[in-house]
Structure 1
């Protein structure tokens, strides 16, 4: 590519004078309403119907529940153990929504998911706002819709973790950064107001309180990439750091100091010195992978937008002299490279790079085709079609087949819904291959609107072997009598079961379960691997335990079948000292 070609004016997006184009313009005029409704229709079924998931979601929810129980909003604990991995921001949000929406009941998981739902919606709306810094409303709406329907954001917005809220913080900060950059590159653009710039710093502070330095890291690598590319740094003065840095510190410092005093420095030792450093040094908790991991997963995690991502990125290479394109490439490229180089990898880590790709794809969807397309464009065009087709096949078949192996068996109406989604998906593919890109996008959205609720509402409840914790909680509830102490768990101690049973649930091994049971009596749920030690210790203590029920399932966190036996243990007067925690 020559420098003259790179600096050529980019083709301008245009909205076709068709029914689809008019519908898009209508949606873009009412963007906040149409995008919010799209998110709610797609995400709410999963929020309301999925049981508590292991392990991160239930750990977050249980720790938030304990904040409400203790009214200690500084310290973070799971049971009696400190949980010093993430700052307190997400726990505050989950505690607040549960206090407001739970009506006094702290055991409904959906109330802890509301921050993710609202954070995801805010992230989508901020994606529109960010794109409006350089794009027409229709391009901005398409970019936001591609994000809203992406499988990864859809999943993160339906579970009680940090990533949807974190993405909203990223979008708030990066949207301001983009506006400052574009104003410096074009004298005709107005400078962002001081209020707008300071709101970007507020987003950075909020992101720090939700997930530590990640928002700062995304902004930093984007800035470094732009400075290296442009050989220019003075535009950073537009960020007003003399005001922004003190504001950010003022918002973050109170809790940062309080948790340091509360934990005697243990929070920073564990969160930064152990958790964060371990992720940078190696594959933490068996989550290591080679570079390229996210490129392999993007076919599914960014479906259905994947149909437009490769062509959109390829077309962007012809517009690198265009300041908005340069910013988006720096944002997506630098952050993606960062996540690929970090040894610890999980699918959701790369989510903050997705909005930049969505904006590039949306620009391509409304850009007139011309003869200047490079030879690689047809290859990328076909690659995207293949990636999309793989997603159609996977999402059509998985809801019908999964219950056969780990659930209630074949369900014909799930097959029918999968077929409907596949018809929409294949229609999108055919339209795409015929270059009816906008209509292809509409049918791709219809496909995910069928597929995702089919998975969350239709297939998930029928994966009966996976829902060990809800079944175990129901089993214990059936056999609990008035006056029983908190139940004892040995072997199967997943966080979801603790969330369902309560904070005082005792987690131990087989021998410890016998000690606790002999002291307090009550119910003990023992997994087969711990049963010999449990029975042997009971015999030593001359305590009685009667099996009252049993159940089987699949512990998906470990990928192992489990057989659980519920015992009623009779307390013995010979054990008068409670066992150690």
Structure 2
């Protein structure tokens, strides 16, 4: 299992940041480190309150310790993936046997979703690991005996608070839903009353509430935006991206733990057992926890129209445990079973390696080439403009110390922008209007900047050369210009229709 984690760390160093997600979240963390503003997550210098800040605190700390690279940004999801595997192992060992625990942990670690999600910079793996840890801690506490294990329960409150600080209400709503159904199904409400509620809730409040209080005092509309718009609104709305039918998550579940998924149907206990063993007689309460955990989260995320595969990561531990139970029932005692296990484990590992190679060869939408040139040639303090799109990875790669000035017709975009990069920026600017006026500028400013030297501009390659700007490099996806090119700006040029006309093409996937 340690070799698989080493492989995960190696894979995390082999590819550039993907956009928009990895570029966005890695840059928010880098900016937190550069600006020393640990209270407010910022995208392009503007408050970005789609999620609470725990992941950015951790990523910025990793960058402070090991340098600003894509690999250091990926240490957080990799560590979260390790936490998920260790939690599964320790819980299964406590509830069943060490052999079953090793099998379940290896199945989880040797899966494509673990090796991909564990090196992808977003909130999904971190919140999934914290949700799983919360559920395990409370379940183990309640299964400890007639009196719940107080220390495990307090750990559950701590993990729940960290989940809230990672992705908001989902960090407590999902474990709460799973545990509520499971406790009701297994009739353990009498034990619930004996949990250490006072000390547990105190720990929860001390960890989770300070940021929400401080940030809410500084930005009065924060709570409504974070909980109302970004969470409840996205859950109930129909205007956001990634719309899929109810078939989506069952299909994702079928492939996310391949090839181990095929063993899940065999996880049910045998009807007749002449000599029950520890692995085949695992407590029915634990088995019911796995199925309730799986089905409750599956139903929860199947309700909204907007669906992403990463949302369902919290079901990985019960899936792996059920698959391990199925393996023990089908393969236990068979000749060459361990050899077959090793061969099956090579399938997802090989698939992820091929995917990593393909990602490096096909760098769609990345600004890596022009960002490298910009970092080498730009002088400190020289402004950088973007027109026709927003290169999410450019500030991170170029190590910019000031926000990119994004030129668009912002007033009209408020009524026409979809769930994309433009809406992200102008909604962020609403929290600090003065800063937004300097960063989110109208087309006229671009022509004015062209008349002076020492400014830089990036535009998508499918746009024409703006008047007054000299092309420095044509990259694969973005063009890089510098200001001060000779030639007057004509009245016809001033509108720059081609530059601004492509603003909506860089949508948010």
Q: Normalising to structure 2: TM-score of the pair?
A: 0.79
Paired with 1:95 and 1:442, the residues of 2 have a C-alpha distance of 37
Q: In the alignment, is residue 443 of structure 1 matched against residue 343 of structure 2?
A: yes
Aligned to 1:531: 464
| Aligned partners of 2:367 and 2:394 also within 8 Å | yes
Aligned to 1:409: none
Cα deviation, residue 446, structure 1: 2.2
Aligned to 2:19: 54
Cα deviation, residue 299, structure 1: 3.3
Paired with 1:314 and 1:550, the residues of 2 have a C-alpha distance of 62
- Aligned equivalent of 1:64, options 26, 29, 32: 29
| Aligned partners of 1:521 and 1:571 also within 8 Å | no
Is the alpha carbon distance of 1:82 and 1:60 closer, same or farther for their aligned partners in structure 2, counting shifts above 3 Å?
A: same
Aligned to 2:71: 110
Paired with 2:331 and 2:12, the residues of 1 have a C-alpha distance of 41
Is the alpha carbon distance of 1:441 and 1:307 closer, same or farther for their aligned partners in structure 2, counting shifts above 3 Å?
A: farther
- Aligned equivalent of 1:161, options 122, 128, 143: 122
Question: Secondary structure of the equivalent of 1:363?
Answer: helix
- Aligned equivalent of 2:307, options 317, 328, 345: 345
| Aligned partners of 1:221 and 1:334 also within 8 Å | yes
* Runs of 4+ residues deviating >4 angstroms: 313-316, 318-321, 434-438, 481-484
Aligned to 2:287: 325
Cα deviation, residue 436, structure 1: 6.3
| Aligned partners of 1:84 and 1:270 also within 8 Å | yes
Aligned to 1:567: 481
Cα deviation, residue 235, structure 1: 2.3
Is the alpha carbon distance of 1:159 and 1:513 closer, same or farther for their aligned partners in structure 2, counting shifts above 3 Å?
A: farther
Aligned to 1:486: 383
Cα deviation, residue 350, structure 1: 0.8
Deviations 1:356-400 (A, max 9, x none): 121111112113689xxxxxxxxxxxxxxxxxxxxxxxxxxxxxx
Is the alpha carbon distance of 1:60 and 1:448 closer, same or farther for their aligned partners in structure 2, counting shifts above 3 Å?
A: same
Q: Superposed, which structure 2 residues align to 1:289-300 within 5 Å? A: 289-300=244-255
Cα deviation, residue 513, structure 1: 3.1
Aligned to 2:56: 91
Aligned to 1:249: 205
Paired with 1:512 and 1:312, the residues of 2 have a C-alpha distance of 64
Paired with 2:374 and 2:46, the residues of 1 have a C-alpha distance of 24
Deviations 1:63-105 (A, max 9, x none): 1111111211111111132100111111110011100011xxx
Aligned to 1:357: 319
Cα deviation, residue 485, structure 1: 1.2
Deviations 1:288-344 (A, max 9, x none): 22212111122332223223233336979x989812111211111111111112322
Paired with 1:46 and 1:69, the residues of 2 have a C-alpha distance of 27
Paired with 1:341 and 1:289, the residues of 2 have a C-alpha distance of 10
| Aligned partners of 1:282 and 1:288 also within 8 Å | no
Aligned to 2:44: 79
**Higher RCO (C-alpha 8 Å, min separation 6):** 2
Q: Normalising to structure 1: TM-score of the pair?
A: 0.70
Q: Superposed, which structure 2 residues align to 1:129-140 within 5 Å? A: 129-140=90-101
Paired with 2:154 and 2:407, the residues of 1 have a C-alpha distance of 49
Q: In the alignment, is residue 470 of structure 1 matched against residue 403 of structure 2?
A: no
Paired with 2:383 and 2:24, the residues of 1 have a C-alpha distance of 19
- Aligned equivalent of 2:234, options 279, 290, 311: 279
Is the alpha carbon distance of 1:474 and 1:72 closer, same or farther for their aligned partners in structure 2, counting shifts above 3 Å?
A: closer
- Aligned equivalent of 1:550, options 474, 482, 486: 474
| Aligned partners of 1:339 and 1:345 also within 8 Å | yes
Paired with 2:183 and 2:479, the residues of 1 have a C-alpha distance of 62
Paired with 1:202 and 1:312, the residues of 2 have a C-alpha distance of 32
Paired with 1:127 and 1:526, the residues of 2 have a C-alpha distance of 47
| Aligned partners of 2:87 and 2:133 also within 8 Å | yes
Is the alpha carbon distance of 1:481 and 1:141 closer, same or farther for their aligned partners in structure 2, counting shifts above 3 Å?
A: closer
- Aligned equivalent of 1:141, options 87, 94, 102: 102
Q: In the alignment, is residue 514 of structure 1 matched against residue 442 of structure 2?
A: no
Structure 1: where are the runs of 5+ without partners? 1-34, 371-430, 536-543, 554-563, 576-581
Cα deviation, residue 482, structure 1: 4.3
- Aligned equivalent of 2:84, options 112, 116, 123: 123
Q: In the alignment, is residue 40 of structure 1 matched against residue 6 of structure 2?
A: yes
Q: In the alignment, is residue 152 of structure 1 matched against residue 113 of structure 2?
A: yes
What is the root-mean-square deviation in Å for CA atoms of aligned residues?
A: 3.0
